[in-house]
Amino acid sequence: MLAIITVIDSCSTSSAASDELHYGAVSDTYAYLSPEAIVYASSISNLIATFPKFRNDAVNREVSSLKVSLSDYLGAVRDFNQSSRHKSLEAFEKYYKKIQKLRKFMIKDDDEVLNRYMVKIKTNINLLEASQSKTEGTSMSSN
Q: Cβ neighbours of residue 54 under 8 Å, at least 6 residues apart?
A: 60, 63, 106, 110, 113, 114
Is the pLDDT confidence value at 11 over 70?
no
Which one, of 118, 141, 138, lies nearest residue 37 by Cα? 138
- Ordered by start, the domain boundaries in the chain are 1-31, 33-141
Q: What is the pLDDT of residues 25-46, one digit of tens each?
A: 444 555 678 899 999 999 999 9
Per CATH, domain 33-141 is 1.20.120: yes
Is the pLDDT confidence value at 127 over 60?
yes
Q: What is the pLDDT of residues 61-97, one digit of tens each?
A: 999 999 999 999 999 999 999 999 999 999 999 999 9
